[in-house]
Structure 1
């Protein structure tokens, strides 16, 4: 099996790609870096005692620091996540959403946490109608009729609750220790990278979100320097965020949900016309949930369940496994390889089918029955094969708007005991709602923008309901032992990106960094549009257009940033582990180990 050289239990070569023609993956087109040196690549990182991979080197190093001080993978994950709220504030903040999957080595078991936000009191379709917002009749899916920014799509934050739940249940340290690196960076400052500067300049310009006529003055005060966004190389400090982190260190999560920070948050919400109450904050609870599951080439693959879109990655790989032999008898994805236009055609068509089900059914499972077991059955995958023409592009299924590029951070950690974490944290949009809590250095997220105002939708907004969520995290298991954690930031790119990288590894035999570097596509259901990275566009774009695919301009902006750790046991299943990590060259990230 192509996977064996990478994940096998016996000592393998470091890559299947030792000769120019060894595997189709060896000649795959690598994606472009959106900023900086476009030819950048890197080797996978190998270590035995600990590993952290994130989109920002300072966050990765903070996680390693915690591991070296005796913390475990859970402590390191929360430390790295909190640093990312400081060094990538356009992507994530303390008032965001969080999901995590934790592998607890002593129990040989996966746990999954949903700490995503809930709609506040008063969030009803009727209230939005009175304010002039109505569902788009051409789109009943996520986001139909919802304003994209400002106070109206703000949901009750879950990030801090999630950090607290992770540390208390599985960690060995407390907030005072794990938040220390983040507090230091907020207080002392950190240098702005080229990529962060390029993303920072896009917000908090609320007029770009189509909801407001002026900038939030509190956001300007917090995120601008002398009336402008910070530039690359400049040292940025956030004393207000440092204060918030010190309050969390001293008082724990209750400072955010019941104390001083909560009062400031509600004051800002009320001043902007929001309906969130102190009771909404104090009553917030995340959920420990059961993961969605399928198998792919004999391995157990787990993804987050609804309202996360992650489970659609499982349906996508189910479709590929069931239907490629039907669509192209005698050929496999591995034999085609990524230089063959049909390889990409079949991948995109599988995505369309999976996302048609996703848009039709995905919602808060506490409010709506989501038939995940049926949708992830092998029989369901086989029933979809006839819907695809192996030589012509199809139209998309139920209408649902593209959820945008997304502004999110993902990270994975592993420790000497074998514990692992895959964590995703987000403000949804660039600087979330664009509204900043004055004096505390964080924006309110706008995940509620993925509710629908259409009463036919399972995702219709209601008080205390969780919206459709793009945040995704996954694990590949070999029985009760982990083989791989995987995460990819970037709106609706997340589930389709997970599937693409899984194919890179399971079908093409790529190592974890190569699987990360290889070019990706991003397809949106509405409008029906396929975007390829430049090198891939040059290679197969004309052929895919001739097959009927509607191509947008080539771009790497929306294809996300991948992070993953593979676990290898070269001396056998019960022998010592070796961690092999990859970090996406499209971001500033770093895989660091020791």
Structure 2
């Protein structure tokens, strides 16, 4: 089966091009990546340019102070980059409990871990890029300096965040957020201009120092100083010691295609465990209750195991090879029954992330994802820098016996995951679906839409989605077929029909024809999605 050209009803036609393609959630960012490619950069340069631009034109989901992961196809091989940061060395469960915390806070300095985003840009540029960061970051710097108009979906999420922060963000550590992101005493409205000169200056400094200032220079001192003054645990030593990690991607063979993810601490392992369970089933039609039921039960079982075992790879007791073994999948498959079952994990929270995919005419392809988590992240912005910091540490447990227990220098369970598909040792292409714990569920659905059901990249993204919430509770988009809703309910699933598609993830896909080099792309209608190509 080919994942390239086949007709299927969809909201939009797939985009087809030959020389290069950038797919992401913001038109301005997609165009920034294409601009860099047309100026002589490759797909890796385009990915960095797009990612940097997204910190400016979609700050509701990501920022300079977040984490990043990437899968890069270059020179006939797939390379993995883990640019997530660890907890500060000075933090501990004991200290937080002495401060009165029974669980990790959502906002403020306490859940801030070492940011990995700038290190990802630097590492990718050094290893694979053609152009210097000073050129690659120019589009992002220009938008931060001169401003840009707020797009519709961006404006909606910005407004939601502002309304929430008005009631939740009361401490002095949040004052800079309001100064930067609500400069006139309110959030910028749709069509209104917004800019941040501090953000532009920080991007310039990152570009000029190849991110050294962020970890071992002036910016590092400003971050650490703000943390010390406002009760945080992050220090200069934490930033100085940090380096991103090149890792070996992990995969399962799903019906002739190898589906790849980043190994833990990311949750991509959950998507692979689910596909490993599902690979022995034959699915002929997307809109069959039995098919959807089996997918739901598989993802529930994969989440049960994933939430039990996934943490920092250095401390995980379980081996990835064991979790992806045929024996483990077979045992999980036996647990799937004719009716809905109740797994162990509790309610799954939602998150905020950006994803992008790029490809060039030389065969390079990138699957890249970065996030501040839960929208704007911690709500903390380092004064005078425009750096909005993530709250990724919120996922740590304060139960010392938990696999993902907080510890100094430890990386937490991470929700953001880039995906990639190969076949017979050749690249098919990058794919991803951003959105907290929806991500592995989205990866499974998009991959199956293409591999099992023959949908092109655009149709694979446009198809209505489901997501497991907790127990037997399943949420489906309002476009989900009524007959499926009723039939799944008869199998014991508690179905909630959502009229807002914002919680069902936002994805991008690029597929390459190995014979012609033609690129076919799909982008997300659930956000301000766009593909730039030539």
TM interval, shorter chain, is over 0.9
Counterpart of 1:35 in structure 2 is none
Kept after mapping to 1: 8 A contact 2:137/2:203: yes
Aligned match of 2:492 in 548, 556, 559? 548
The 1-side partners of 2:227 and 2:164 are apart by 16
The equivalent of 1:127 in structure 2 is 95
1:539 Cα deviation from its structure 2 partner: 4.1
Q: How far apart are the structure 2 equivalents of 1:209 and 1:354?
A: 37
Shift of residue 420, structure 1, vs aligned partner: 0.6
Q: Does 1:567 align with 2:527?
A: no
Aligned residue among 525, 531, 534 for 1:591: 531
SS at match of 2:372: strand
Greater mean deviation of Cα atoms: 261-270 or 227-236: 261-270
State the partner residue of 1:333. Answer: 283
Deviates more, 1:201-210 or 1:178-187: 201-210
Cα distance, 1:215 vs. partner? Answer: 8.0
| Secondary structure of the corresponding residue to residue 229 of structure 1 | coil
Deviations 1:181-232 (A, max 9, x none): 0000000111101111100112256658968568811111000131000000
Partners of 1:539 and 1:93 lie apart in 2 by 42
Residue aligning to 2:274: 316
Match of 2:317 in 1: 369
Of the candidates 292, 300, 316, which is equivalent to residue 258 of structure 2? 300
| Equivalent residue number for residue 162 of structure 1 | 120
Q: CA deviation at 1:370?
A: 3.2
**Deviation sequence 1:487-515 (CA, Å, 0-9, x none):** 11000111111000111011110001000
The Cα of 1:395 is off from its aligned counterpart by 0.4
- Contact conserved, 1:363 with 1:370, CA < 8 A, in 2? no
Q: Does 1:150 align with 2:150?
A: no
Give the drift of 1:486: 0.8
Q: SS state of the match for residue 82, structure 1?
A: helix
* Higher mean displacement: 254-263 or 484-493: 254-263
Q: CA deviation at 1:318?
A: 1.3
| Equivalent residue for 1:531, pick from 475, 478, 498 | 475
In 1, Cα distance between equivalents of 2:289 and 2:378? 40
1:424 and 2:369 equivalent?
yes
Judged with a 3 Å threshold, the aligned counterparts in structure 2 of structure 1 residues 130 and 173 are, in CA distance, closer, same or farther, namely same
Kept in 2, the 8 Å contact 1:153–1:447? The answer is: yes
C-alpha distance after superposition, 1:329-358 (max 9, x if no partner): xxx322xx2332222211110111111110
Counterpart of 2:234?
Answer: 276
Counterparts of 2:320 and 2:349 in 1: how far apart (Å)? 21
Counterparts of residues 389-404 of structure 1 (less than 5 Å): 389-390=337-338, 392-397=339-344, 399-404=345-350
CA deviation after TM superposition for structure 1 residue 400, in Å: 4.1
Q: 1:521 aligns to what?
A: 466
Question: Residue 496 of structure 2: SS of its match in structure 1?
Answer: coil
Quote the Cα distance in structure 2 between the aligned partners of 1:205 and 1:268.
25
Q: Find the counterpart in structure 1 of residue 290 from structure 2.
A: 342
Q: Superposed, which structure 2 residues align to 1:187-206 within 5 Å?
A: 187-204=145-162
Aligned residue number for residue 138 of structure 1: none
In structure 2, C-alpha distance between the alignment counterparts of 1:463 and 1:537, rounded to whole Å: 48
**Is contact 1:307–1:364 with CA below 8 Å preserved after alignment?**
yes
How big is each residue's C-alpha offset from its partner over 1:86-144, in whole Å with a ceiling of 9 and x where there is no partner?
A: 0001111111000001111x3x111100000110122211011111122xxxxxxxxxx
TM-score for both structures, normalised by structure 1: 0.87
Give unmatched runs, 5+ long, in structure 2.
none
CA deviations over 1:535-565 (Å, ceiling 9, x no partner): 1163422322232112334241211101111
The equivalent position to 1:388 in structure 2, one of 336, 345, 361, is: 336
The aligned length equals 533
Question: How far did residue 379 of structure 1 move?
Answer: 2.3
CA contact (8 A) 1:112 1:290 kept: yes
Look up the match of 2:47: 77
Considering only aligned residues, what root-mean-square deviation do their CA atoms show, in Å? 1.7
Change (3 A) 1:212 1:454: farther
Q: Superposed, which structure 2 residues align to 1:355-366 within 5 Å?
A: 355-366=303-314
Structure 1 distance, partners of 2:240, 2:483, is 54
- In structure 2, relative to structure 1, the CA distance for the partners of 1:583 and 1:126 (3 Å cut) is same
Q: CA deviation at 1:522?
A: 1.2
Please give the TM-score of this superposition, normalised by the length of structure 2.
0.96
Change (3 A) 1:402 1:208: farther
Q: Secondary structure at the match of 1:318?
A: helix
In structure 2, the residue corresponding to 1:428 is in which secondary structure? coil
Compared CA separation, residues 211 and 389, structure 1 to 2 (3 A): farther
CA contact under 8 A between 1:359 and 1:400: conserved in structure 2? Answer: no
